[in-house]
Amino acid sequence: GSADYRDSGLRFPEGFLFGSATASYQIEGAAQEDGRRPSIWDTFARTPGKVLGGDTGDIADDHYHRWAEDLDIVRDLGLDAYRFSIAWPRIQPTGSGEANQAGLDFYSRLVDGMLERGITPIATLYHWDLPQPLEDAGGWPERETAHRFAEYAALVGAALGDRVRTWTTLNEPWCSAFLGYGAGVHAPGRTEPLAALRAAHHLNLAHGLGIQALRGVVPGDPDYSVTLNFAVLRGEEEAVRQIDAVANRVFTGPLLKGAYPEDLLADTASVADWSFVQDGDLVDIAQRIDLLGVNYYNTALVALWDGTGVKESADNHGDTAASPYPGADRVQFLPQPGPYTEMGWNIAPDGLEELLLSLRRQFPDQPLMITENGAAFDDVLEDGHVHDAERLDYLRRHFTAAHRALEQGVDLRGYQVWSLLDNFEWAYGYSKRFGIVHVDYETLARTPKDSALWYSELARTHVLPE
Ligand code: GBH
C-alpha cells in the first residue's frame, strides 16, 4: 500500500546503479599479510571490553583470499556495482612514505576482477582503518593527518585511476570524529569533545586535499564523492537544530557551502574556539563533487532535557559517559515507535524519502547516490537457505522510498545495499548480520539469502519485484 511503502511494480530508470557495499576492515581479514600493519581498529579490537565477544578483524570473511569468489557472487546476482574500501595500512603500513606494492597489487587485482565481470567499482579511500602510527602521532585531531591522507590518496589514485571511475574520499566522517574521539565507542576510543571537533575539521580538510591530490594523478574526469551518514531528525525544533548542526551541517556546511554554520560555532563555543580552521582551509575543502554519497538507516527523535529526572538516551550512546554531540548537552534522544531491526534501530522508510527531498532542497544541483542502506536481523541458515523475510521487506520499503524521491525529481544515481556479506559490525563484532549473503564463520561458506535473490531480480529488471 502507499502508506507503508510496501510497493511492487515500480520501475527504476535506465542507468540506475544497483550494487552492494562492504568495507576493508569488516571483510578482508589477512590482517598481517603482505606487509599490512595495524590500524586503529586492530588496536581497539584488541583492547578488552571494546568489541563484543572480543572479536577482531583478523580473519573476518577472509575476503583477502576469497575475493574472486565474492566477485563471482556479485556477478551472478547481476548487480551493476560494488562499493569497496581500500585499507590505508595495506598501502602505507606506517601511515606515510612510499607505497607497499603488495597492497596496491591486491586492489589492482580486485578492480581488474570487477571489470572482467562487468561490475562498476566504487572505491572508498577511508572507511575507518587509520594506520596506528598516525594515531600515535595524534590522529585526526592533528592537522598533519589530513596531509598524510592526501599523500595516500595520490598513491592509490596513481595505481588505480586508469580503471576506477568513481572515487569516494571518506565514509561517514561523523562516525570517525564523534564516535571515535567523542563518545569513544569506535576506534581510537577517545572521549574528548574538543578532539572530536578538531577531528571533524581535519577530516573535512583531508577530503578536500584528497580530491585535489586525486585530480592531479587520475586521468580524465571521473566522479568524485564523499559519503555522509545523515541524522534524520524529528521532535522539538531547538533540539533538532542543535543535532542537525553537529551531526549534519558540520560536514555539509564546509563541504558543499564553503563555511561552518554560525549556530554550530556558537553552540560549541565553550568547547572549541575553532582556531584550528586556518586561512584557505574552506576553499580547499569545498571542492566540487560529482556525487554526494548518502548512508541511511533510521531516524532520531529528539527533545530538550529540562535538567530534572533521567535524561533519555535511546540513541545507544547515552549509556556511555561521553556524548558524541559536543555543544548539545541538553538534547535527549527519545524512544521511537517500532518496528525495529536487530540493532534496535527503528524502521522508517519515510525518513529516507524525507532525507533525499531535504538534500535536494538544500543542494539543488548535487547528484546523489545512496551508498549504504540495509538492516541486521537474526538470520537462520537451514538447508542452504536463509529466509530473511524481514530484510527483504526492509529493502522493499526503502527502495520504494527511493523511488518516490525519484518521482519527485531527486537526482538519485544509484543504490548500494549494506552489505554484500555478513561481516565485522564494529563494536558489535560478528553478532550482527547485515549481509544479503550469509557467511558461516566456521567454514566461511557464502550463501545468498532470499533478500539477495529478490535484489537480483530488481537489479536485472529494474522493476521492484512482488
Ligand atoms: C555504517 O555506519 C557504516 O558505514 C558501516 O561500516 C556499518 O557496518 C553500517 O553502517 C551498519 O552499522 O545509534 O541508534 O542513534 C552506520 C553508523 C548508524 C551511526 C546509525 C548513527 C544512528 C542510530 N550509524 N546511527 S543510533
ipTM over 0.90: yes
What local confidence, expressed as pLDDT, does residue 156 receive?
99
DSSP readout, 82-141?
EEEE--HHHH-TTSSSS--HHHHHHHHHHHHHHHHTT-EEEEEEESS--BHHHHHTT-TT
What is the sign, positive or negative, of the torsion defined by CA atoms of 114, 119, 125, 126? negative
Q: Is 172 a catalytic residue?
A: yes
This prediction's pTM: 0.98
Pairing of strands 299-304, 331-334: antiparallel
- The span from the CA of 206 to the CA of 201, in Å, is 9
Mean pLDDT of 348-354: 98
Residue 315 has pLDDT above 90, yes or no: no
Using the 8-state DSSP alphabet, how is residue 392 labeled? H
Residue of the nearest CA to atom 14 in ligand 1? 315
Give distance in angstroms: CA of 316 to centre of ligand 1.
11
Please list, residue by residue across 75-101, b when 16 or more beta carbons sit within 10 angstroms of its beta carbon and e when fewer do: bebebbbbbbbbbbbbbbbebeeebbe
Sign of CA dihedral 343, 297, 292, 231: negative
The average pLDDT across 171-195 equals 98
Q: 286 is written with which cell numbers? A: 569545498
Quick check: 237 and 243 in contact, CB under 8 A? no
Nearest CA to ligand 1 atom 18: 297
Q: Residue 304 Cα, ligand 1 centroid: separation in angstroms?
A: 23
Q: What is the mean pLDDT of residues 264-286?
A: 98
> Mean pLDDT over residues 299-318, rounded?
83
Mean pLDDT score, 251-271:
98
Q: What is the mean pLDDT of residues 232-247?
A: 98
Residue 1 in this model has a pLDDT that exceeds 60: no
DSSP letters of 301-317? EEEE--SSSPPPBTTTT
Catalytic-labelled residue, pool 135, 353, 354, 372: 372
**pLDDT tens, residue by residue, 46-83:** 999 999 999 999 999 999 999 999 999 999 999 999 99
Tell whether the model's pLDDT for residue 241 goes beyond 90: yes
Among 28, 175, 423, 432, the mutation site with the greatest number of ligand 1 atoms within 8 A of its Cβ is 175
pLDDT at site 313: 82
- pLDDT tens string 375-423: 999 999 999 999 999 999 999 999 999 999 999 999 999 999 999 999 9
Amino acid identity of 225?
Answer: S
Q: What is the pLDDT of residue 31?
A: 98
3-state SS, residue 234: strand
Which helix H or strand E contains 348, and what residues bound it?
none
Instruction: For a ligand 1 pocket test, name from 170, 244, 372 the mutation site with the most ligand atoms within 8 angstroms of its C-beta.
Output: 372
pLDDT-derived band at 2, boundaries 50, 70, 90: low
pLDDT in tens, 409-466: 999 999 999 999 999 999 999 999 999 999 999 999 999 999 999 999 999 999 999 9
Q: Terminus-to-terminus CA distance in the chain, angstroms?
A: 13
Percent helix, strand and coil across the chain, each rounded to 5?
A: 40, 15, 40
Note the pLDDT of residue 319: 53
Residue 314 has pLDDT above 80, yes or no: no
The answer to whether residue 372 is catalytic is yes
Q: Report pLDDT digits (tens) over 107-132.
A: 999 999 999 999 999 999 999 999 99
Tell me which of 297, 340, 416 to substitute to probe ligand 1's pocket, judged by most ligand atoms within 8 Å of the beta carbon: 297
Q: Write the DSSP symbol of residue 340.
A: B
pLDDT, averaged across the chain: 97
Q: Which ligand 1 atom is at minimum distance from the Cα of 425?
A: 8
Ligand 1 pocket at CB < 6 A: 23, 26, 171-172, 175, 229, 295, 297-298, 300, 315-316, 345, 372, 418, 425, 434
Contacts of 238 (CB under 8 A, 6+ apart): 304
Please provide residue 295's backbone torsions phi and psi, each rounded to the nearest 5 degrees.
Answer: -105, 130
For the four alpha carbons of 30, 453, 225 and 260, in that order, the dihedral sign comes to: negative
Check: CB of residue 254 under 8 Å from CB of residue 260. yes
Please say whether the beta carbons of 355 and 295 come within 8 A. Answer: no
pLDDT for the residue 321: 64
